[in-house]
Amino acid sequence: MALKLYGSAMSTCTSRVLTCFHEKSVDFELVPVDLFAGEHKQPPFLARNPFGQIPALEDGDLTLFESRAITSYVAEKFKGTGYDLIRHENLKEAALVKVWMEVESHQYNPAIAPIVYQLLVAPLQGKSPDQSIIDASVEKLGKVLDIYEARLTGTRYLAGDFYSLADLHHLPYTYYLMKTPAASVVDERPHVKAWWEDISSRPAFKKVAEGMKFGGK
């Protein structure tokens, strides 16, 4: 039975899971959830994620939410097929993948998400971007990326010389960031830029990016 993902192709957290599906070459069905109609706050969706946020996964009688927990489950369940995203045969490499997944979640995401929200989402909601939030977040993201620049001087990818779930988790938000003037925060750092060009050109993500459109951009 195919995995069922409830979400929206344009959403960053849904795209994170879709990219993982493509890397693993697993069968899935994307069940659209209409955020603009507030479907994610209605009882049928709340039964899948009581926090009312997309995406949610159904695999038989198992229901999961939180995109990073979903990708970890999929990468583990299908460790024998497709690209190995978690280095399951090497304990030390697997631990480094987990370290850099935590970094994305706790350092990178809190800095980048407000920039994408202010520059791409707020205008769609008829609000003007708040420049003070953008400036503070760009500064915060720059400090995180200074650490990435140093790290990527020694290794090709974040966890080592292998692409992993740690890199994959960065794709959706960075993809949207690169469509804004704040892209300079990546462009100014040569190793970060080369890493971005490398990970965003993988066929699995290119397929997903085709569906990532915010207001036609």
Per CB under 6 A, does 137 bind ligand GS8?
no
Residue among 83 and 214 whose Cβ is closer to ligand GS8? 214
Provide the Cα torsion 183, 9, 3, 34; round to 10°. 130
Cis ω before 50 (30° cut-off from 0)? no
194 CB-near residues (< 8 Å, 6+ apart): 152
Helices (H) and strands (E) in the chain, counts: 12, 4
Per CB under 6 A, does 72 bind ligand GS8?
no
User: Closest distance between ligand GS8 and the C-beta of residue 83, in Å?
Assistant: 21
Contact stretch for ligand GS8 (CB under 6 A) within 60-68, 141-149, 163-171, 208-216: 60-68
Return left, alpha or beta for 130; rule: phi > 0 is left, psi -120 to 50 is alpha, else beta. Answer: beta
Q: In the set 5, 11, 108, 115, which binds ligand GS8 (CB under 6 A)?
A: 11
Residue among 115 and 152 whose Cβ is closer to ligand GS8? 115
User: Closest distance between ligand GS8 and the C-beta of residue 214, in Å?
Assistant: 10
Closest CA to 175 of 136, 204, 146: 204
Q: Within 131-202, where are the H helices?
A: 131-154, 165-168, 171-177, 184-187, 190-200
The first and second tokens of residue 16, run together, are 């994170």
Contact stretch for ligand GS8 (CB under 6 A) within 63-71, 82-90, 142-150, 179-187: 63-71
CA angle 31, 5, 114 (to 5 degrees): 100
Q: In the set 5, 12, 192, 204, which binds ligand GS8 (CB under 6 A)?
A: 12
Q: Which parts of 28-57 interact with ligand GS8 (CB under 6 A)? A: 35, 40, 52-54
User: Closest distance between ligand GS8 and the C-beta of residue 52, in Å?
Assistant: 6
Residue among 70 and 186 whose Cβ is closer to ligand GS8? 70
Contact positions toward ligand GS8, by CB under 6 A?
11-13, 35, 40, 52-54, 66-68
